[in-house]
Amino acid sequence: MIRKEAVESRHLKIENYQTDLAIIGGGMSGVCAAITAARQGIKVVLVQDRPVLGGNASSEVRLWILGATSHMGNNNRWSREGGVIDELLVENTYRNPEGNPVILDMILLDKVKQEPNITLLLNTAVYEVHKSNSDTIESVKALCSQNSTTYIIHAPLFCDASGDGVVGFLSGAAFRMGAETPDEFNEPMAPDASYGELLGHSLYFYTKDVGKPVKFTAPAFALDVQKEIPRYKSFNAKEHGCKLWWVEHGGRMDTVHDTEQIKWELWKVIYGVWDYIKNSGNFPEAENYTLEWVGTVPGKRESRRFEGDYILSQADLIEQKLHDDAVAYGGWSIDLHPADGVFSDRSPCNQWHSKGIFQIPYRSLYSKNVKNLFLAGRIISVSHVAFGGTRVMGTCAYVAQAAAMAAAWCVKNNKLPAQLYQEGHMPALQQLLFRSGQYIPNVAWADREDLLSTANVNTSSNLQFKGFDRTDAIFKPLSIAAAQMLPLKPGQIPAINALLKADEPTTLNVELRISARDGGFTPDTTLAAKTIELQAGEQEIDIDFNVTIDKEQYVFVCFLINEKVQLAYAQQRLTGLLSVFNGVNKAVSNNGKQVAPEGSGVDTFEFWCPQRRPEGHNIALQFKQPVHVFSADHLKNGLDRPTVQPNAWVAELTDAAPVIEVNWKEAQTIGKIDLVFDTDADHPMESVLMTHPETVMPFCVRNYHIEDEQGKVVYRKRDNYQTKDEVVFELPISTKKLRIILEHPSVNVPASLFSLRCYALNQN
């Protein structure tokens, strides 16, 4: 028994933490930042004001994680974000292909708790900031509502990943809220007052077929959506979850302090929508449906944006400007919404895509006036227009990883965030990011500590690509224009042979296109065109464009629409090769072509996008001369995804046990080996609601082992499914030779590897 005498007042329990980095916010940005920093060997306290991790991706909100891949609806090929966010998405696809948000909660908690350097504080909200002087945070104070404990967290560095920027706000960091005028950053897309300056919140609901009739009685507060919602006819009985992202409200309110009021308005809409579906008589198919779940926490899009030493703006995205301090990239469209949201009679979004991914500079990831404050997630230093392209979770998490890696470097070198840039340490940060799997477009690197740089690398085979195997070819109608992307080196374009069927004599138009932008994947430049006469029936055609190219790049062999023709596709799939189609993807405002309004500062161009598996077969083209683009040289170039080339070694399928052999003149002491496999960076891996056709990407090597010069197996891996396998030896091995023996993923997919790196010690 505990008995306390009456006193005038009492205090809650207080616990103090001293850490290297305090991260406030446990959404995808905070999670990825915490794991990134912890793996660099520094101590992290992760403060999350909710009972689960994941923020808008969690079971509390249930929005899918997306980034530059944009539902495969843009021209950003192989653009899924790398590093920790890639690891989490691949893990979720493996464990949770059905997109269950509760399982995602579990995966995030599991990953964070596996890191001994992370102290996780759930249900804990920061409410006070203490500063040692006007520009330096000393500590933050937070309250856990579940255990009535106040935490005081001291750290030399803080990272605000809270979404609303609570630490930045309380610390006095400069911020913006709302839209800039078009003149400030020369942004033609800046909205006017009638459109509104802020994006609102969304609240989702899930439905379920229970197999018997279900009645629904609406609450008194439910709206009559037929009277209140201009787009009420857009609702249907089969859509639920974040497919109803446009059920949005609050853009004309204070999206920080009015959140509870906004939530109530959204509840009114949701229960009104369900009343309409269940009781209007217009949806007999919903008779057996029940309302399984309604969100209680709205998903926020926009509130504060903090000012760094650089403010990213429209031109940075559309023109894909280069920055010497690039540490991440984005690729979502500039996606702005009318402030009136679901109550607006305008289109629910206004999406304009760039012709590729855009760099995000380090100077946008820290406060310009609070010296020890990093910015992560949607609060980074961008204009309102640029925010439309950087605010999605895949991009936010990717940026957060860069901020966390910078924080770890600052801790180890006793520096402040701005000093890392000002003193010329960006190459060191970029190298750390590359090692962690973080691709940075248009940034080259050479890892001097990689022992492979002094080794001789041989392979048992290199794929001499002569085209796709036509065994069990699939014929598909040419009802939309189709193209095969081919990576080629400088020189003559090889003559091409295609297999097809024609219903009757007709002509087929074939074009050879490239991207006008180096490294781009928008086929906006036509090098040659052919009109080919076809006879009725199955036939092969030879196509010689007689064109020479002067640099490494992907070319597009484009077959234009002809409803009378069926094109042959192959069952075989290869790393770095894709077919793309000039189709439509309404989910990301892709109507086949983006037609930019005059004076908008946006490009007009066609979309050529892949299809999701089990579709997405390659066009069964063949060549008289082999294409040499899969050599072992790629294993050393530091690139872990296709760019202007596949950047991968690929074995011949006829090679029963492909081997990579690494030889040094002198014995090397090896403490760590990194291998980077192909987990299809073109697949967006949406985290919830959507399902996926497989749990392991078809290009990923599942089984392999490593031998030393004596033939001793020093490592064996079975059932791999992750992008990066990090082999750390408890006791370093000494050897002059390594042999990596791999198994082909399947009979239709040869073994491939993007990178192989060897380090003397455990290099992070």
Q: What pLDDT is attached to residue 764?
A: 59
Distance CA 25, CA 58 (A): 13
What is the distance of C-alpha 423 from the center of its chain? Answer: 30
Q: Which residues pair with 752 in a beta bridge?
A: 650
**Torsion, CA 611, CA 614, CA 619, CA 624, rounded to 10:** 130
Distance CA 753, CA 676 (A): 6
Q: Which residues of the chain have pLDDT under 70?
A: 762-764
Distance CA 682, CA 156 (A): 39
Query: Largest alpha-carbon pair distance within the chain?
Result: 100
Distance CA 558, CA 487 (A): 14
Q: What pLDDT is attached to residue 484?
A: 98
For the full predicted model, state whether its pTM sits above 0.75: yes
Q: Which two tokens stand for residue 540?
A: 């092969």
Cβ atoms of residues 468 and 570 within 8 Å: yes
DSSP code, position 286: G
What is the distance of C-alpha 78 from the center of its chain? Answer: 10
Q: What pLDDT is attached to residue 263?
A: 98
Q: What pLDDT is attached to residue 9?
A: 87
Cβ atoms of residues 112 and 34 within 8 Å: yes
The beta strand positions in 248-299, using DSSP E, are 248-249, 289-294
Cβ atoms of residues 645 and 634 within 8 Å: yes
Parallel, antiparallel, or unpaired for β 13-18 and 149-154? parallel
Q: What pLDDT is attached to residue 1?
A: 87
Distance CA 416, CA 157 (A): 8
Q: What pLDDT is attached to residue 448?
A: 87
List of residues 6+ apart from 82 with CB closer than 8 A? 398, 436, 437, 438, 439, 640, 641, 681, 723
Query: Which of 262, 258, 360 is closest to 317 using CA atoms?
Result: 360
Residue pointed to by tokens 């609450």: 219
Q: What pLDDT is attached to residue 762?
A: 61
Q: Reading across the β-sheet that carries 44-47, which strands appear in turn? A: 118-121, 44-47, 21-24, 157-160, 373-375
Q: What pLDDT is attached to residue 587?
A: 79
Neighbours of 278 (CB within 10 A): 21
Q: What pLDDT is attached to residue 629?
A: 95
Distance CA 758, CA 761 (A): 9
C-alpha R_g of the chain: 27
What is the distance of C-alpha 200 from the center of its chain? Answer: 23
Q: What residue type is assigned to position 518 of the chain? A: D
List of residues 6+ apart from 7 with CB closer than 8 A? none
Q: What pLDDT is attached to residue 258?
A: 97
Neighbours of 747 (CB within 10 A): 9
Cβ atoms of residues 661 and 754 within 8 Å: no
Cβ atoms of residues 739 and 664 within 8 Å: no
Distances (CA, A) of 692 to 100, 159, 391, 613, 695: 12, 34, 24, 8, 7
Cβ atoms of residues 459 and 739 within 8 Å: no
Distance CA 30, CA 55 (A): 9
Distance CA 694, CA 698 (A): 8
Number of residues that make up the chain: 764
Distance CA 126, CA 144 (A): 9
